[in-house]
Amino acid sequence: MLGTVLDVLSTKKGEKVLDVTLGLGGHSVEFLKAIGSSGKLIGLDADEKNLEEARKNLSAISMNFELHHSNFSRLSELELPQVDILFADLGLSSPHLDDPGRGFTFREDTPLDLRFDQSRGITGANLIKQSSEQDLFLIFKKYGELEQARKLAKAIKATHIDTTGDLRACTEAVCGHRAVQALPQVFQALRIAVNDEIGALESLLKYGPTLLKPGGRMGIITFHSLEDRPVKQKFRELSTSEKDEVTGAVSKEADFELLTKKPLLPSEEELEENSRARSAKFRAIRKNS
């Protein structure tokens, strides 16, 4: 959705861009090209390895950037300047999926890590050990929307889980032929819990808009309803005018306007190039002057 993002956010020469999900720099490379030598890019990523690779990729274009090893949940702590564009792509970066050792995939038997930032926090395996059966039930029900959440939580607590293979075997034993659909949900639920992804998104939606200059744009790509729903609700709230309860007349104009009345979806051509983008949705707002 790179072209769509650049078009909707209308990146211009000399602008300041904040990419809070830098990854390997795929989007930021194009932002850097668009803003030119008079602009500046600020990038955040929770994964130090991503930052190293992104630095190489960005340096091939320009040196007008600064990078921070940080999750966007800590935006308010970083003392960042006002920006023209704030962008977030909430999907997993390719290295997380392509490196089995990170524990994000169930296709190989490796340690169940699941952390974006391997320098802090607890692993997926340790989260399971430290959680009660009720805790796990709530994780699987809320973040994985699993029908067999309670049965699965009970089975996992009765099993020694250290690796992705352990978790897969336990899920298959509980879910049987439905394990094909359940496994992605199980891993998603634990990943969200390990990285506090919903809490981080809440922080981004609360603090991100305050970083925009007048006329600044904020765009977010989501990949499932747990992400898209709060983004949709927050953007709608920010772009809704206040009305007098008695007369119904507008008493205060909205501070933002929607740039996407409906979420923008990847084209068929984009899906042919990257099937992982199938569930992607892009929403954006602009701060009024």
Closest CA to 194 of 107, 116, 134: 116
Structure-block tokens of residue 116 = 């974006």
With a CB cutoff of 8 Å and minimum separation 6, the contacts of 90 are 21, 197, 201, 220, 221, 222, 223, 227
Residues of the chain with CATH 1.10.150.170: 100-195
CB atoms within 10 A of CB 241: 11
Q: What is the pLDDT of residue 97?
A: 72
pTM of the model: 0.92
**Cα-based distances in Å from 55 to 23, 25, 65:** 10, 8, 9
Using CB atoms within 10 Å of the CB of residue 261, give its burial: 0 to 12 exposed, 13 to 18 middle, 19+ buried.
exposed
Q: Which CATH superfamily is domain 100-195 in?
A: Putative methyltransferase TM0872, insert domain (1.10.150.170)
Contact in structure between 83 and 211 (CB atoms under 8 Å): yes
| 167-199: pLDDT as tens digits | 999 999 999 999 999 999 999 999 999 999 999
Contact in structure between 235 and 285 (CB atoms under 8 Å): yes
Amino acid (1-letter code) at residue 5: V
Q: What is the pLDDT of residue 277?
A: 74
Residues of the chain with CATH 3.40.50.150: 2-89+198-287
Segments of the chain with pLDDT less than 70: 95, 98, 276
Per CATH, domain 2-89+198-287 is 3.10.20.810: no
Q: What is the pLDDT of residue 289?
A: 78
Q: What is the pLDDT of residue 11?
A: 94
